[in-house]
Chain A
Amino acid sequence: MQKTKQNTENKWGNLNYFNKLNIKNYSLTFLFLIALYFVLYLSIDKGNPFDYKSGIYTSVLISIIFAVSLNIAVGLMGQLSLGHAGFIAIGGYTAAFISKLLVPYNLPPFIQLIVVTLAGGILAGIFGFFVGGSTLRLRGDYLAIITLAFGEIIKYVIQNMNFLGGATGLKSIPSILDFSSVYFIAVISVVIMSMIMTSRKGRQILSIRENEIAAENIGIDINHVKLYGFALSAFFAGVGGSLFAHNVGILTPDKFGFVFSIEILVMIVFGGLGSITGAVLSAVLLTVLNEQLREVSQYRYLVYAIILIILMIFRPDGVFGKKELTIPRFINKYKRIRNNLNKKNNN
């Protein structure tokens, strides 16, 4: 009895400890991100603009934005969306188009990148809002299908627009990115997304995943929250799309098909539907794996398919499930292990 009470008190004590020292946690994460930036930055060969490492870092960061933004709709809101590539296409094409128009004005690259990225994100967000709005009545499978149809329509419409390059693609997009700017935008995006998801709005989004009807009954306006979630997810897909467009330099509509959406879905299913850090880690892992498998690219989708099926059968929540990996968590774990060791030594 005494022991249980002690245990409970310890548990609550720990929780309070983390609540009180929130600033400490944030600053730890902040320091970690800065340190990571310098480690990565120093490992890039600056003499060579086509450095292999910097290419990989950039594509990993872009995949992280894709994965985390899709995770808002699928993992956290529980609405299976199969048209994410469509939003990426909207963001990418808008950004690339404006970026090409801005070339004669000779803006500083970083400012230009931020302007076009915001524009791409906002347009994609507006589309996300409309797609979300037209799917409010639908649940589950039907929602998956309607988002798939929207994604495909966007692809075909872009194909039929001649000023966007049509089927041959939009060429000569100015290269205004470097590793630092992508890192900055990616970190800011992920931080904003995770802050929203831990706010009141984020908890409302989570409540829709857990049980829509119950959420409605406790007074949450689920239509409003769903629209918000879809628009948020699409906005950051557009942001990622803009970076993607400037990274590859040429956009073709074929790239943004169903397969691309599935690639991102695999990332978040693998990392854990409902875990932001899980999505980040699996985006890193799968993108690097992708690069390694480039020579045997035809086996890549086979591997993807098998990963998906096995995960769904044996671990439907993904590797990380709904857990978040945070630095305080590691510290806590470390402390617990140390305490246990101390106890053993004392005994």
Chain B
Amino acid sequence: MFKNFIEQTINGLQTGSIYALIALGYTMVYGIVKLINFAHGDILMVGAYTVFIAVSNSIPFPVALILAIVFCSVLGVVIDWFAYRPLRNAPRISALITAIGISFLLESAALIIFGATPKIIDSKSIPAFLSPNIKINLGIVNISMLTIFVIFITIVCMYILNLFIKKTKLGKATRAVSQDTGAAKLMGINVNLTIAITFAIGSGLGALGGVLYAIMYPTVEPYMGMLPGLKAFIAAVFGGIGSIPGAMIGGYVLGIIESYTKGYISSTWANPIVFGVLILILIFKPNGLFGKNLKEKV
């Protein structure tokens, strides 16, 4: 009983870590351009496919992972350049519909290129420190290396990102742009460059999350990004969209809720319960746990 509970919690932390990684991208982009980047979920699908192709061309896994992160960062910047930048001053609904369009574009492009059949990243190429099969005994429960790695890498990423935002000049610029774009421009900050960097970081983290997700649930398919993308978005909303620690805590809470539902209620109810949580948060605390209360301008 107790052992089961611990196992469920660890499972929850693992999925939660991935949600947190993906949610960071949502939160950063929303914080700076006030756009729900629907295509973010599909960026992680692109990342997973990149690793799949690289690995099947016998490129070592760590190199493939870095390749995927770089490729997705560039893709994020390109998407921003072509689709979102022309709409900076357009109504929010237009930008949102464009984001949905980009999401569709990536999905159908993947469908045309790779077909609908799910692919699996070759398990032989996955190094030992990422293997879900090698387990470590921790007294009462066994934890796989993958779980430890996922939780560890998420915390490291979060820490580095926090340092970046708080300490560096670029991070300061990011905060300035998200607070007041016009004033930031007057102070000589290159707004477009700052936004591009935000997209690059967010997409890179998304790609990392996507690859880990593809190893955890070992399939790669064109629509794989949709559900984790939505859940990561829920995590971001939970923590207060625009807040980086909020995204992290939201991701973990959501992962644990999902894991307990799967373990104690029924796995078919996990998704509706997660969506129900989103609805409850939005109804009772629309700004999330750490969100700022924005006044409405008339």
Residues from chain A with Cβ under 8 Å of B34 in the complex: 141
Residues from chain B with Cβ under 8 Å of A305 in the complex: 101-105, 108
Say what secondary structure dominates the interface of chain A. helix
Provided the pairs A146-B278, A149-B275 are in contact, do residues A299 and B112 lie with their beta carbons within 8 angstroms? Answer: yes
The answer to whether B91 touches A313, judged by C-beta atoms less than 8 angstroms apart, is no
Pick from B82-90, B129-137, B138-146 the stretch touching chain A: B82-90
The answer to whether B86 touches A313, judged by C-beta atoms less than 8 angstroms apart, is yes
* Residue B183 lies at the interface, judged by CB distance under 8 Å to chain A: no
The answer to whether B279 touches A80, judged by C-beta atoms less than 8 angstroms apart, is no
The answer to whether A258 touches B272, judged by C-beta atoms less than 8 angstroms apart, is no
Pick from B92-100, B163-171, B172-180, B192-200 the stretch touching chain A: B92-100
The answer to whether A152 touches B271, judged by C-beta atoms less than 8 angstroms apart, is yes
The answer to whether B111 touches A298, judged by C-beta atoms less than 8 angstroms apart, is yes
Provided the pairs A298-B108, A313-B86 are in contact, do residues A262 and B271 lie with their beta carbons within 8 angstroms? Answer: no
Say what secondary structure dominates the interface of chain B. helix
User: How far is it, in angstroms, between the C-alpha of A316 and the C-alpha of B91 when the chains are bound?
Assistant: 9
* Interface hub of B93, B233, B234, B298 (most chain A Cβ within 10 A): B93
Partner of B94, one of A138, A160, A316: A316
The answer to whether B107 touches A301, judged by C-beta atoms less than 8 angstroms apart, is yes
Partner of B102, one of A80, A141, A160, A309: A309
The answer to whether A160 touches B268, judged by C-beta atoms less than 8 angstroms apart, is yes
Partner of A153, one of B105, B268, B272: B272
User: How far is it, in angstroms, between the C-alpha of A146 and the C-alpha of B277 when the chains are bound?
Assistant: 11
Total count of chain B residues near the partner, CB < 8 A: 44
User: How far is it, in angstroms, between the C-alpha of A218 and the C-alpha of B182 when the chains are bound?
Assistant: 32
The answer to whether B96 touches A144, judged by C-beta atoms less than 8 angstroms apart, is yes
Residue on B nearest A257 in the bound complex, by CB: B226
* Residue A47 lies at the interface, judged by CB distance under 8 Å to chain B: no
- CB contacts under 8 Å to B, within A160-198, are 160
Residues from chain B with Cβ under 8 Å of A146 in the complex: 278-279, 282-283
* Residue A302 lies at the interface, judged by CB distance under 8 Å to chain B: yes
Provided the pairs A78-B93, A159-B268, A309-B102 are in contact, do residues A138 and B282 lie with their beta carbons within 8 angstroms? Answer: yes
* Residue B64 lies at the interface, judged by CB distance under 8 Å to chain A: no
Residue on A nearest B86 in the bound complex, by CB: A313
The answer to whether B104 touches A137, judged by C-beta atoms less than 8 angstroms apart, is no
Interface string of A312-331 (1 = CB under 8 A from B): 11001000000000000000
Interface string of B34-63 (1 = CB under 8 A from A): 111000000000000000000000000000
* Residue B237 lies at the interface, judged by CB distance under 8 Å to chain A: yes
Provided the pairs A156-B272, A159-B268 are in contact, do residues A312 and B226 lie with their beta carbons within 8 angstroms? Answer: no
Shortest C-beta distance, A184 to chain B (Å), equals: 33
The answer to whether B286 touches A137, judged by C-beta atoms less than 8 angstroms apart, is yes
16 further A-B pairs in the complex, CB-CB below 8 A; given A298-B108, A301-B108: A137-B283, A140-B93, A140-B96, A142-B237, A145-B237, A146-B282, A148-B230, A150-B275, A156-B269, A160-B268, A298-B111, A298-B112, A301-B111, A305-B101, A308-B98, A309-B102
B residues adjacent to A (C-beta < 8 A): 34-36, 83, 86-87, 90-98, 100-105, 107-109, 111-112, 226, 230, 233-234, 237, 268-269, 271-272, 275-276, 278-279, 282-283, 286, 296, 298
